[in-house]
Amino acid sequence: MEELQDLRRRMEEERPTRWEELPDIALYMDQLISYMPRQLIRFDQSTPLTPAMVNNYIKDGLVPRAEGKRYSPEHLGYLTAVVALKQILSVRDIGTLLSAGRETGKSSPELYGYFCRALDRALTDTAQAIDPEAQEQDLARMALDFALRSYANQLACARILDILQPPEEKGRRK
């Protein structure tokens, strides 16, 4: 099936820009907004990021403040992670993950590198589970398999995030 072949190909090939290849000049908000859709796989034309969202992520402490209304590779890295993770996690949970990453003492390029490698593994594993020769009657089964993997992964993720919470916050997850 052509659509499945395209899905598999995109999941095998499309990746966020490597740190070394991110723009080395600071971007203004409109440039940032136009750059970000290239970072993650999308199948629709919706806007993955708006200026209001960027400002909220900064206010919530997920992304560092702009440097004089200009955004560096560090901002692009954090925003790429936030936009991807926002599909499945709450802002609070993303904050927990980012805080845990910062506490390791690793630099932004190292953290972004880990994020990209983990995303690469996840996309590659999922792509390998797609049968491009599947027939239409197999699609519901394939979708169910992916949904159940998502469920199992979400259970594990939620429990680990709860473990990462400070003692006074444990058990308060929504």
Say how far apart CA 59 and CA 34 lie, in whole Å. Answer: 21
Residue 71 phi/psi, 5-degree rounding, is -115, 130
Q: Please report which confidence band the pLDDT of residue 166 belongs to, taking 50, 70 and 90 as the band edges.
A: confident
Supply the pTM of this predicted model: 0.90
Question: How confident is the model over 106-117, as a mean pLDDT?
Answer: 96
What is the pLDDT at residue 45?
A: 77
Q: In this structure, are residues 83 and 39 in contact, taking their beta carbons and an 8 Å threshold?
A: yes
Q: Is 18 exposed, middle or buried (0-12, 13-18, 19+ CB in 10 A)?
A: exposed
Question: How confident is the model over 12-27, as a mean pLDDT?
Answer: 96
| DSSP designation for 66 | P
Question: How confident is the model over 40-68, as a mean pLDDT?
Answer: 92
Position 22 pLDDT exceeds 70: yes
Say how far apart CA 88 and CA 147 lie, in whole Å. Answer: 13
Question: How confident is the model over 70-82, as a mean pLDDT?
Answer: 97
Question: How confident is the model over 53-69, as a mean pLDDT?
Answer: 95
Position 135 pLDDT exceeds 90: yes
What is the pLDDT at residue 1?
A: 85
Position 172 pLDDT exceeds 70: no
Position 173 pLDDT exceeds 90: no
Question: How confident is the model over 53-63, as a mean pLDDT?
Answer: 96
Question: How confident is the model over 57-71, as a mean pLDDT?
Answer: 95
Say how far apart CA 70 and CA 26 lie, in whole Å. Answer: 5
